[in-house]
């Protein structure tokens, strides 16, 4: 079975550019999470969705960040405009609300903003 699929795996961009990160959750999973990982701040929850509806976006740093989940098989995290402090690894994870409680992570998207 395919796991959580994220793209791109690596992105290098310049300050001020728009960045879009994409995630395809595991088929049948109906809860999706976006995390950010940095050396300084560790693993931070940005936002999560249940059944495509945003439940908690209190971790989204500021208005430059937005996330959508238009359907059960796709989500995006957008940063506009990007800044060097946004450089991090962004992880998407999914879980089945009726399952064992194990969260399945993608391999991450490493973002570098110059």
Residues engaged in binding another protein (CB under 8 A): 4, 31, 33, 42-43, 45, 48, 50, 55-56, 91, 93, 95-99, 101-108
> Nearer to another protein by C-beta: 66 or 96?
96
Pairing of the two strands 10-13 and 109-113:
parallel
The span from the CA of 64 to the CA of 67, in Å, is 10
Residue 111 CB, nearest distance to another protein (Å)? 15
> Nearer to another protein by C-beta: 70 or 101?
101
- Cα four-point dihedral sign 59, 32, 54, 111: positive
């Amino acid at each position: 079975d395919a796991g959580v699929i994220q793209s791109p795996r690596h992105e290098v961009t310049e300050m001020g550019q728009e960045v879009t990160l994409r995630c395809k959750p595991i088929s049948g999973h109906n809860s999706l999470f976006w995390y950010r990982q940095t050396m300084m701040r560790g693993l931070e929850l940005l936002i999560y969705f249940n059944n495509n509806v945003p439940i908690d976006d209190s971790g989204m740093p500021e208005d430059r960040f937005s996330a959508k989940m238009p359907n059960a098989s796709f989500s995006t995290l957008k940063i506009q405009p990007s800044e060097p402090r946004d450089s991090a690894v962004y992880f998407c994870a999914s879980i089945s609300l009726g399952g064992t409680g194990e969260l399945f992570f993608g391999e991450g998207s490493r973002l570098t903003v110059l």
